[in-house]
Amino acid sequence: MTALTVGSLCTGIAGLEHGLTLAGLNTETVFVSDIDKGACAWLEANVSAPNLGDFTALDELPPVDILTAGFPCQPLSTAGQRKGVEDDRWLWDDIQRLVGRMETRPLVFLENVPGLLSANNGHAMARVVHGLASIRYGISWGTLPASAVGAPHRRNRWWGLAYPADASSLRWQPRPRPRTSEPPSIRRHGPRHDRRAVTADADRLAARRDSRAALGPQEQKRRKANEGHRPRHGGRLAVFGHYAAAVERWQIVTGRPAPAPDVDGRLSPHFVEWMMGYPEGWVTDTLTNRRQALHALGNAVVPQCAAAAFTALAARIDDQAADGRSQTPAARSLTRW
């Protein structure tokens, strides 16, 4: 089967592209785009496709079957000022402009933080939805955290899959979905977790808080310090204390053991690389500077989460097509996961 061509904006360390591969797609990346120093160094060493650099200065993009874009989250994140559409780093309008000029009408796989939904009192998300409708695109979207695919951290993200009004002409076709391997469900008001695990964790934490409340301040401080060193698992997992079960689960998902979490008392990039779900050496073999590696990983997605998100969103689009629904692009834009 001929590979699907992929173009990437705000590429970083190609987490979205790796996610497409994990989702079972046969892809070939034909161009990337990034201006971050570390990301550019990584791309030059690991990706043969040309880096188009600052895409906001481009008039058009090469034709592809799928376009990916994890556009900057800084204007939308609760860790920043949340200027949203008024931030200079709000790059959505340029992405929309370039997609609207593409003759191939690709699928557009998007990622950002959930803050996109509430920034500017909802205007930021409305800008995305109505902008896509203006170029005759619909979109399905939802939020999915990395913990939903087994990662030992939450890292909740917004995911969107935009598709042209003439979606029947797409070269991409979704794969059959066995009932036993459906991706995690996404609800309008947030992700559905493994409720048994969540309930057990909540009960354990509540019991711990209650027991602390009956102690004096000094005893509370001493016990809290000791809890981090109390082994719940034997052997090497004991170093993770109460997080050992989560670490063990991710080891099973990724198929490789967790590296040491720190080196000389500082967070290890090798551990973060594993925690983010990348193969050993994906980043650390190229970016040997600790700060640069952590920066690149901090801006990345968990590829297993990207794979699950793409699969779920693509299935939703396929289900709509199978139902023979006749909707305008604007109406389809309001479809949620």
Ordered by where they begin, the domains of the chain are: 4-191+301-333 (3.40.50.150), 195-279 (no CATH)
- Model pLDDT, residue 311: 95
Q: Tokens representing 261?
A: 């979490």
- Model pLDDT, residue 54: 96
Strands 27-31 and 4-9: parallel
Amino acid at 142: G
Residue located via tokens 């991706």: 183
* pLDDT at 33 > cutoff 90: yes
Q: For the CA atoms of the chain, what is the radius of gyration?
A: 21
Q: State mean pLDDT over 20-44.
A: 97
- Model pLDDT, residue 330: 32
Question: 326 vs 5, 165, 205, 321, 330, CA distance in Å?
Answer: 28, 10, 49, 9, 12
- Model pLDDT, residue 312: 95
Band (220; pLDDT cuts 50, 70, 90)? low
Q: Tokens representing 29?
A: 């990346």
pLDDT digits (tens, 9 = 90+) for 204-216: 445 555 555 556 6
Measured in Å, how far apart are the chain's first and last C-alpha atoms? 29
- Model pLDDT, residue 72: 83
Q: Of 13-27, 115-129, 228-242, which one has max mean pLDDT?
A: 13-27
- pLDDT cut 90: percent of the chain above it: 59
pLDDT digits (tens, 9 = 90+) for 235-273: 678 889 889 999 999 999 999 999 999 999 999 999 999
- Model pLDDT, residue 73: 77
- Give the 3-state secondary structure of residue 133: helix
* pLDDT at 189 > cutoff 50: no
Q: State mean pLDDT over 21-46.
A: 97
